[in-house]
């Protein structure tokens, strides 16, 4: 039962927080003149990566599931994933600028 509750919690975190952040990113992209249809997926992937790192390093320790496999991501992996996410967030306006 605790595993099911934790899965529901994960889905809610990713859907609600991810939805709010992706709406904000798409709003910022549209204000910058970025083509959301072509490059919007990069912002969504960046948000999903950030939520994954946030969940693995913080949220998994405050949930219902208490079993094996609960450990933080290594520091180097966290840094690389966050760097990739930031790059993916800043890339769409740059690509849209050069393609127009």
CB 90 within 8 A of CB 25: no
Q: What integer pLDDT is reported at residue 65 of this predicted model? A: 65
Q: What is the Cα–Cα distance from 83 to 34, expressed in whole angstroms?
A: 21
Higher pLDDT, 64 or 34: 34
Query: Could you tell me the pLDDT band of residue 88, with boundaries at 50, 70 and 90?
Result: very high
Confidence category of residue 3, pLDDT binned at 50, 70, 90: confident
Mean pLDDT over 33-54 rounds to: 91
CB–CB of 57/19 below 8 Å? Answer: no
Q: How many angstroms separate the CA atoms of 83 and 70, rounded?
A: 23
State how far the Cα of 71 lies from the Cα of 89, in Å rounded to an integer: 27
pTM for this entry: 0.87
Residue 2 pLDDT grade (very low, low, confident, very high; cuts 50, 70, 90): confident
| pLDDT reported for residue 80 | 97
- Lowest mean pLDDT segment, chosen from 3-7, 14-18, 42-46, 53-57: 3-7
Helical ranges in 1-100 per DSSP H: 2-12, 18-32, 36-57, 75-99
CB atoms within 10 A of CB 15: 10
């Amino acid at each position: 039962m605790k595993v099911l509750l934790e899965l529901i919690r994960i889905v809610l975190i990713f859907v609600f927080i991810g939805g709010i952040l992706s709406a904000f990113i798409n709003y910022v992209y549209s204000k910058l003149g970025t083509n959301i249809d072509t490059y919007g997926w990069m912002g969504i992937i960046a948000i999903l990566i950030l939520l994954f790192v946030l969940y693995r390093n913080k949220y998994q320790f405050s949930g219902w599931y208490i079993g094996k496999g609960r450990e933080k991501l290594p520091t180097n992996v966290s840094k690389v994933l966050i760097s990739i996410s930031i790059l993916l967030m800043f890339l769409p306006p740059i690509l849209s600028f050069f393609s127009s």
